[in-house]
A and B are shown apart, each in its own frame.
Chain A
Amino acid sequence: MEIKLKGWSSEGFRCPDANIDLSHNNGAYDLSFIQMPNGTGKTTTLLLLKACLSGNISNWSADDIYQLKKKNHPINDGKFTINLLVNNEVLSIELVVDFREKEVSFWTISPQGGGRQRGWIIPNQLARFLNDEFIKLFIFDGELADKLLNNDYDEASKAIDALFQLYLLDEIKDRLSEYWDEKTKDVPRKSQQAITQQKNKLSDLKELKTQLESKYKTAKDRILKNENRIEEIKEEVNRRITEVEEFRKDYNDALSSLGNIKGKITNKSQLAFQSLRNPAYIHENITNSLVNSKNNLDSLKLPANTSKQFFEELADEEICICGRPIGDDERKEIINKSEYYLSNDIAGYLNAFKSEVSSLQSESFDQDALENELDSLSELLDERDKLEGKMRHIQNKLKDRGDEKLKELEKEQVKLEQENDSLEELIKKFESDTETNPLKTKNISIIKDEIKRIDEEIKIISGKVDLKNKIDLLQDILSQVKLISKEELKVKILEKFRERVVNTLEHNPLLVESIDGAIKLENQQSGASVGQTLSIAYCFLTTLLQWGTHSFPLVVDSPAGPLDLAVRRQVAKIIPKLTDQFVAFTISSERQGFVDDIKARSDKSIRSLTVLRKSDYSNKLVEELKPNVVHNSTDGYVIDDEEFFNQIDIEEEQ
């Protein structure tokens, strides 16, 4: 990736409107010095350069945006354009500000990208370098130099991450965590230990279920056995009674009648139960209410002959049933009006209801049917009780005569019937115990449901545990890959970095010991000097910026500002060697020992521009210059004159 900064233009911002052209021979000048007195807008220019490059203004507040506006000018818009040469192709990015609305928009201009397009539309291959982390490596901030050599920071390490995009490995780890959250958002988080607990609980429940089912079956079998024995006893009793001549006829008659009555009771019970299902039979008031409801529906003409579906289907047609075409407006109105009609299923339900209620009004409907059936049933039950009483009476007579066997049989029958009652109670518990705690209940269905639930939960959680283990393993692999590959890349960088240091700081090469979080110099217990720090920082950054086939510009604000003369000369020596393009924002005092020295030593192409804000003082200065070297804007001058650059002596804006 080769990027050259061809220049920028600015309109409407706090810095003077200016067009800075750094183009040279189909590329850009190797060394460019933009001399701007303090207060001329260097900070604003750098801020806008970074914003255009990154397309990121997420940390700009509305107030920040307004603060960028040119002061005391009736201007509402601002436009800053950065012009780049990316792998020899022109690319411009515009940042447009509406100061009234405090809104910012980006535009991208590229012949390959189809001209001017709204948005920050950067090819992916370039975009990967235009993030805040990487931009700060080539739009250089003096603070970064200190941090690169300060053990309290890990800027050197981050710079390596940014160049080789090792941060992607961390981002994949983050995405894995998000993936896990997404996959488990509806599942309770359970550990392996919790699964073991659930499995133990499942085992207990299965054991309990087996026990209860066994008891249930035993009880059922026992009841059946008892019932068979009771039948045998009854037959034996009947046989014994009918052996006695004087009781035979009465007893047989009663027995036969009892069988008959029991059959009738069964039939009558079924009829009564069926009648109970019709609420109209329960009470006259219910019948009257139902009839009233039907009458109300009739008076409201409900359900209508036309249903909602009719209109919905009509709205899909091109022509209405009246022959007129159905347009969008008509279609919308038909759909709206269809809401006033009932749907087919509700209309069908109401029609069925009305038909049923009509039958209640017919002559064949007998309001007293249920009551009559219940009365008949009651009579049959009385009759059954009388017959059973009669038979017991005969049986008692025989017992009174000393039939011990009969007494024994009766005693056995009572005992079996009592046992069956208890067993029925127990079975009722197995079938419908209301205790809901699965470990306490006797209700087998509740236990079965709980077993199913836990089984399902274990299945789901076990699946998630596998997924979690896989995610943990992959995250572990990614961490190790990052750590090890970074160490290897650091070794390779360190080799090139040391080489660069030796080549550039010829007479006083510093020895670089290592790159951990920060750069560590050999024998530098008490920290490096300002000059050393800056020189090393430049060497390190340009090692990265010129890595492999990469070439990025190095843009620096006041590169020599904080340096004394000796250090300036030291740094000035190295700059031309370090990078394919060096762009510096300077003030006049940085010329001595720095700009002058660089220019004197370098055979590279050099651009020297001076930017001044318009004032009485600057107006006077430019009056003496040839018009073709002065580029005049609303509020500033860009002076393309080497002599002027070298002579002007303004530290602060006048």
Chain B
Amino acid sequence: MEDISSKVLKSTIENIVAKHNQSDQLAHQLNLWLDSLINGSEDIDSKEDVWDRLETILNEIELNNGN
């Protein structure tokens, strides 16, 4: 991830996730995945990897946190 865009994306994700009353862990998982996608270590077209990531991230979401 580029320095500036990395910082912008990271802080935006943290802010938006917090606004939705979700955990830091969710923001962390999202940032980790985006980092891997942007630096090319993971592929958005690899269904198996994507499914694993989505399941991990969806598990971090708590419903009824004011949503």
A-to-B contact residues, CB < 8 Å: 123-125, 127-128, 164-165, 168-169, 171-172, 175-176, 179, 466-467, 469-471, 473-474, 476-477, 480-481, 484-485, 488-489, 492, 547-550
Interface residues of A: mostly helix, strand, loop or mixed? helix
B32 within 8 A of A: no
A168-B44, A179-B51 known; 5 other A-B pairs, CB under 8 Å? A124-B40, A128-B40, A168-B34, A168-B38, A485-B12
**Could you write out 21 A-B pairs with CB less than 8 Å apart?**
A128-B38, A164-B2, A175-B50, A175-B54, A176-B54, A467-B58, A471-B58, A473-B63, A474-B58, A476-B20, A477-B13, A477-B22, A477-B30, A481-B12, A481-B16, A485-B9, A492-B4, A547-B2, A548-B2, A548-B4, A550-B2
Q: Is the CB of B4 within 8 A of A124?
A: no
Q: Is the CB of A124 within 8 A of B13?
A: no
Q: B67 — nearest CB in chain A belongs to which residue?
A: A473
Q: A122 — nearest CB in chain B belongs to which residue?
A: B40
Q: Is the CB of A480 within 8 A of B5?
A: no
**Which of the residues B3, B17, B50, B63 comes within 8 Å of A477, measured between beta carbons?**
B17
Q: Is the CB of B39 within 8 A of A124?
A: yes
Interface residues of B: mostly helix, strand, loop or mixed? helix
- For B12, list chain A residues within 8 Å (CB): 481, 484-485, 488
- For A471, list chain B residues within 8 Å (CB): 58
Q: Is the CB of A470 within 8 A of B61?
A: yes
CA distance A165 to B22 in the complex (A): 25
Q: A169 — nearest CB in chain B belongs to which residue?
A: B34
Q: B62 — nearest CB in chain A belongs to which residue?
A: A470
Q: Is the CB of A489 within 8 A of B8?
A: yes
Given known A-B contacts A481-B13, A485-B9, A492-B4, A172 and B58 have beta carbons under 8 A apart? no
Give B1-44 as 1s and 0s: 1 = Cβ < 8 Å from A's Cβ atoms. 01111001100110111001010000000100110011111011
Q: Is the CB of B63 within 8 A of A125?
A: no
**Chain B residues with a Cβ closer than 8 Å to the other chain, count:** 31
B-to-A contact residues, CB < 8 Å: 2-5, 8-9, 12-13, 15-17, 20, 22, 30, 33-34, 37-41, 43-44, 50-51, 54, 57-58, 61, 63, 67
- For B61, list chain A residues within 8 Å (CB): 470, 473-474
Q: Is the CB of B20 within 8 A of A477?
A: yes
CA distance A172 to B38 in the complex (A): 12
CA distance A127 to B54 in the complex (A): 23
- For A480, list chain B residues within 8 Å (CB): 16
**Which of the residues B4, B44, B50 comes within 8 Å of A489, measured between beta carbons?**
B4
Q: How far does the Cβ of A504 sit from chain B's closest Cβ, in whole Å?
A: 22
Q: Is the CB of A470 within 8 A of B13?
A: no
CA distance A466 to B67 in the complex (A): 12
Q: Is the CB of A488 within 8 A of B51?
A: no
CA distance A197 to B14 in the complex (A): 39
Q: Is the CB of B9 within 8 A of A481?
A: yes
CA distance A176 to B30 in the complex (A): 13
**Which of the residues B16, B41, B44, B63 comes within 8 Å of A172, measured between beta carbons?**
B44
Given known A-B contacts A488-B8, A489-B5, A548-B3, A125 and B40 have beta carbons under 8 A apart? yes
CA distance A567 to B14 in the complex (A): 47
Q: Is the CB of A165 within 8 A of B8?
A: no
- For B30, list chain A residues within 8 Å (CB): 477
Q: How far does the Cβ of A392 sit from chain B's closest Cβ, in whole Å?
A: 75
CA distance A549 to B1 in the complex (A): 11
- For A169, list chain B residues within 8 Å (CB): 34
